[in-house]
């Protein structure tokens, strides 16, 4: 009971601190938590912004889906074959510190400001952590199980699907969880750079126009999306890999 209530209490506590801080600072551009919450229904009730949210979520789902579908097989192969691993590792290391959303201006030059550019950026942002975690997971699979599988006549492809994949699943799902938060972050950033549609567009347009309660209301909405998606994924993960204890029960999120 306490465990379930704690995150909600933490949310309320943070909102209370916000409320007090803004009351104390008396800054015009820093609305109180209550004012920001009051602005939420207006945003969610507006048809335009709902269309924007829909477009954002669609891009995010497509980008995330493709990234997972490509990255898991690649990561697993890298984990099981040293050749494949040393083939891809340096390339991934070079790409890693590049901010994916920063590629947006260049990709926009080639593909325009539409859905393809944004989805591609989300895809790039999600794939690296998923590849990395699948790689680590596949590397740690116990050799004996693979030998037993080979002795029982499983082909290399079958061993991959029925031994390596399930054994690496907890690690893979950790990667997917990081990827999910990343997808949200990349989505917001890409929309902020290509201001055309989406949640990021609403947020940064409100900032430019000085509608500060909309800015803070959008921050609450986007934050709630992050926390909600993460909790949902965690539920699914707990079902899929009931047999394994998670290492960290909080995802590492970054852009």
Partner 1 sequence: MNARTITSDLLLGLIPIVLLVAVWQALVSFDYAPVTLLPPPLRVLERMAQQLLSATFQQEIAATLFRLFAGFLIAVILGVTFGLAAAVNPTINAVVRPIVRVLAPLPKVALYPALLLLVGFGHESKILLVTADALFPILLATYYGASTVEQKLVWSAMAAGTPPREILFKVVLPAAAPSILTGCRIGLVISCIVVFLAEMITSTDGLGHVLVMAARTFQAVDMFVPLITISLLGLILNGLLELVRSYLLRGFPEA
Q: Point out which residues bind partner 1 (CB under 8 A).
A: 6-7, 9-11, 13-14, 27, 29-30, 82-83, 86-91, 93-103, 105-106, 108-110, 181, 184-185, 188-189, 192-193, 203-204, 206-207, 212, 215-216, 218-219, 222-223, 226-227, 229-230, 247-255
> Can you tell me which residue has the tokens 């591609």?
120
User: Among residues 29 and 148, whose Cβ is nearest to partner 1?
Assistant: 29
Q: Which of 254, 193, 178, 184 is nearest to 219 (CA)?
A: 184
Q: Which is nearer to partner 1, 151 or 248 (CB)?
A: 248
The least CB distance from residue 151 to partner 1, in Å, is 28
Of 104 and 163, which CB lies nearer to partner 1 in the complex structure? Answer: 104
Instruction: Classify residue 188 by burial, with Cβ atoms within 10 Å: 0-12, 13-18, 19+.
Output: buried
Nearer to partner 1, 9 or 20 (CB): 9
CB of 164 to partner 1, least distance (A): 22
Asked if 101 and 121 count as a contact pair (C-beta separation under 8 A), the reply is yes
Q: How far is the CB of 172 from partner 1 (least distance, A)?
A: 18
- Shortest separation between residue 219's beta carbon and partner 1, angstroms: 5
Angle at 82 between CA 80 and CA 87, to 5 degrees: 115
Measured distance CA(106)–CA(244) in Å, rounded? 42
Beta bridge partners of 195: 197
């Amino acid at each position: 009971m306490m465990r379930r209530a704690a995150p909600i209490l933490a949310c309320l506590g943070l909102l209370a601190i916000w409320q007090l801080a803004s009351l104390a600072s008396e800054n015009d551009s820093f609305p109180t938590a209550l004012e920001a919450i009051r602005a939420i229904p207006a945003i969610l009730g507006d048809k335009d912004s709902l269309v924007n949210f829909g477009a954002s979520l669609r891009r995010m789902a497509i980008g995330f889906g493709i990234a997972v579908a490509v990255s898991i097989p690649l990561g697993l192969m890298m984990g099981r074959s040293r050749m494949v691993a040393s083939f891809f590792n340096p390339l991934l290391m070079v790409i890693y510190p590049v901010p994916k959303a920063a590629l947006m201006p260049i990709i926009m030059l080639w593909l325009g400001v539409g859905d393809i550019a944004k989805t591609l950026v989300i895809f790039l942002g999600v794939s690296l952590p998923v590849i990395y975690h699948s790689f680590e997971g596949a590397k740690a699979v116990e050799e004996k199980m693979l030998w037993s599988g080979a002795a029982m006549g499983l082909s290399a492809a079958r061993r991959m699907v029925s031994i390596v994949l399930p054994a690496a699943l907890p690690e893979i799902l950790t990667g997917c969880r990081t990827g999910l938060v990343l997808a949200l972050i990349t989505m917001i950033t890409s929309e902020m750079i290509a201001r055309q549609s989406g949640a990021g567009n609403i947020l940064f347009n409100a900032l430019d126009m000085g509608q500060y309660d909309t800015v803070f209301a959008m921050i609450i909405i986007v934050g709630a999306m992050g926390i909600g998606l993460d909790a949902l994924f965690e539920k699914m993960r707990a079902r899929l890999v009931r047999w394994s204890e998670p290492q960290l029960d909080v995802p590492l999120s970054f852009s």
